[in-house]
Amino acid sequence: MEKQESFSLKGFGMLLRVVAVVTSSIATIISTVLPLAFGYDISKVDLFLLFLLLVVGALLVHGVLTHVFNDIVDFKSGTDQESPGMLSGGSRVLQNGVMSFNMMVRIGIAVTLLLLIAAALFIIFGQMELAILTIVGLWGAISYSLKPFRFAYRPFLGEWLSLFPSILLLGLAAPWLMLDSIPLWAWQNALINALWCMAWVMIHHVPDIKADRHATPTKQTTVVWAAKKFGMKAAPTPALLYLIIVGLLAISVIWDRPVAAVGTLLLLGYGIYMVLKIDVDNVEQVTAYEKVLLLLAMATAIWLGLFPTM
């Protein structure tokens, strides 16, 4: 019994993929909580409690549910078993026997029910914003991996229809709930952070291209599509495209928020340099560069949060 419990705890830790969740989802929350904490006359206790609630929600949706569904589907299609990736290829809880397939299914059902009950209670008690946040989070996790959507297996749809709305709304959550209207800086921060997240996810998929091609059904991510259409060397192109959009957004705010924009552009420049240098056949290098991109995304989120009006 003791051994089984430790394996479950180990598996839960692997499943969460804490580094990815902290540098994307939680960094996105911080990016719009910081301006509220230092620039607005609102209750710091209420803001802190909201921050904790959003972090718990992000861990449940992005850390647990999204990864559970993705691991289950990718394990069944066979792509995770063939993946040579160090960060990609799923959480490895199934491949390493740390968790059973049935346990993963039970976790997925339990967390889904928990979030549905939470959404219903939010509606009953008139907390429509929190209900919408929960439902959009559920949509992102379900539509990314499960039938009939399974957008992760279709180019562009996974990041735009599942990931983007979920991360964008998470970034807007704090100002949406604490203020009468969502300020422009919050939209700017949330958009840039969501696109940065999409960019590093594209690099995350690069080591899995061959495994994804051999999956049944084929997991045709945007990266797989780009490699098939333009050749393997073009695999990082989607990441480059999303980073260019980040650059355009940063340039668009340079007159109103020069400090925020310049800092974002400097971090972005290094990110683009890393993407251009990627050797798609070198899994170790791709993994190392992905870690750098994660840190750059987090640094960008915090920088934007520190300078909402400068």
Separation CA 180–CA 216 (nearest Å): 49
Q: Could you tell me which of 148, 69, 139 has the C-alpha nearest to residue 107?
A: 69
Look at residue 85 in the predicted model and tell me its pLDDT.
63
For 281, phi then psi, to 5°, come to -90, -5
pLDDT tens-digit readout, 212-254: 999 999 999 999 999 999 999 999 999 999 999 999 999 999 9
Predicted confidence at residue 16, as pLDDT, reads 76
pLDDT confidence tier of residue 22, bands split at 50, 70 and 90: confident
**pLDDT computed for residue 5 by the predictor:** 41
Structural domains counted in the chain: 1
Sign of CA dihedral 56, 58, 60, 63: negative
| CB 190 within 8 Å of CB 171 | yes
Q: Is pLDDT of 152 > 50?
A: yes
- Dihedral over alpha carbons 248, 281, 220, 113 (to 10 degrees): -80
Q: Is the pLDDT of residue 147 over 60?
A: yes
Looking up tokens 């479950």, which residue turns up? 8
- Mean residue pLDDT across the chain: 91
The answer on pLDDT for 1 being more than 50 is no
Predicted confidence at residue 101, as pLDDT, reads 87
- Tell whether the model's pLDDT for residue 8 goes beyond 80: no
State the angle between helix axes of 237-252 and 258-277 in degrees (0 to 180), rounded to the nearest 10: 170
pLDDT score recorded for residue 310: 85
Residue 282: what pLDDT? 92
Rg of the chain in Å (alpha carbons): 19
Omega before residue 175 within 30° of 0, cis: no
Looking at per-residue pLDDT, the higher value among 70 and 95 belongs to: 70
- Between CA 26 and CA 34, with CA 28 as vertex, the angle to 5 degrees is 95
Please state the rounded mean pLDDT for residues 169-183: 96
Single-letter amino acid, residue 256? D
110 or 10, which is more confident: 110
Give me the amino acid identity at 79. Answer: T
pLDDT score for 6: 41
Q: Which amino acid is at 250?
A: A
Q: Which of 4-8, 14-18, 144-148 has the lowest mean pLDDT?
A: 4-8
What percentage of the chain exceeds 70 in pLDDT? 95
Please report, for residues 16, 26, 54, 69, the alpha-carbon distance to residue 73 in angstroms, rounded to integers and kept in the order given: 17, 25, 27, 6
Nearest partner of 306 among 267, 265, 259, judged by Cα: 259
Q: What is the pLDDT of residues 91-111, one digit of tens each?
A: 778 877 788 889 889 999 999
pTM: 0.93
State which H helix or E strand residue 260 sits in: helix 258-277
Judged against a pLDDT cut of 60, whether residue 199 lies above it is answered with yes
Question: pLDDT per residue over 264-304, tens digit each?
Answer: 999 999 999 999 999 999 999 999 999 999 999 999 999 99
Tokens of 188: 């700017």
pLDDT at 89: 66
**Domain encompassing residue 173:** 2-306
Q: What is the pLDDT of residue 79?
A: 84
What gap in Å lies between CA 301 and CA 171, rounded to an integer? 10
Q: How far apart are CA 91 and CA 37, in angstroms?
A: 35
- In this prediction, residue 242 carries a pLDDT of 97
Pull the structure tokens for residue 48. Answer: 């802190």
Highest-scoring range by mean pLDDT, 37-41, 136-140, 279-283: 136-140
| Residue 80 pLDDT exceeds 50 | yes
